[in-house]
Amino acid sequence: MYQFYFEKLEVWQNSRRLVKDIYIVTTAFPENEKFGITNQLRRASTSISANIAEGFSRQSNKEKSRFLNIAFGSTIEVINFLILSNDLGFLNDENYRQLREKSEFITNQINSLNKSINK
């Protein structure tokens, strides 16, 4: 099976793992949040890997950079919803810390990748 370039990127692999972790942890969120924070957190997390993948299908560095900026914004959105989930008691402190650290690491990777393609 052919492997696309984006699949080889460590940041894409990390964002893919983050999606899995978020889906697992949000299964314990209250049922009445299914269409609220649960949905928003899941959508924002999947947006990270999707925008990295789509960006690296583009030919120009300018377009790649635009999609990386969107992925960065989605990661910040994830962090926002993690904070709110922790504040509301949906997410315990340990899960919050782990997911927050993974998200922060991804933001650093996105920034580094963006800088390298814009040189």
Indicate whether 106 belongs to any domain.
yes
Indicate whether 44 belongs to any domain.
yes
Token pair belonging to 59: 């030919």
Rounded CA separation 44/74 (Å): 5
Whole-model pTM: value is 0.96
Indicate whether 35 belongs to any domain.
yes
Indicate whether 75 belongs to any domain.
yes
Indicate whether 1 belongs to any domain.
no
Amino acid, single-letter form, for residue 103: S
Report how many domains make up the chain.
Answer: 1
- Model confidence pLDDT, tens digit, residues 73-116: 999 999 999 999 999 999 999 999 999 999 999 999 999 999 99
Indicate whether 83 belongs to any domain.
yes
Q: How many CB atoms lie within 10 A of CB 76?
A: 13
Q: Find out whether 46 and 96 touch, Cβ atoms under 8 Å.
A: no
Residue 71 sits in a domain whose CATH number is 1.20.1440.60
Domain membership of residue 99 as a residue range: 7-117
Indicate whether 2 belongs to any domain.
no
Measured at the CA of 86, the angle between CA 106 and CA 67, to 5 degrees, comes to: 30
- Model confidence pLDDT, tens digit, residues 53-82: 999 999 999 999 999 999 999 999 999 999
Q: Which ranges constitute the DSSP H helices of 1-119?
A: 5-8, 10-26, 37-55, 61-87, 93-117
pLDDT-derived band at 118, boundaries 50, 70, 90 = confident
The predicted model gives 2-21 an average pLDDT of 97
pLDDT of 57? 95
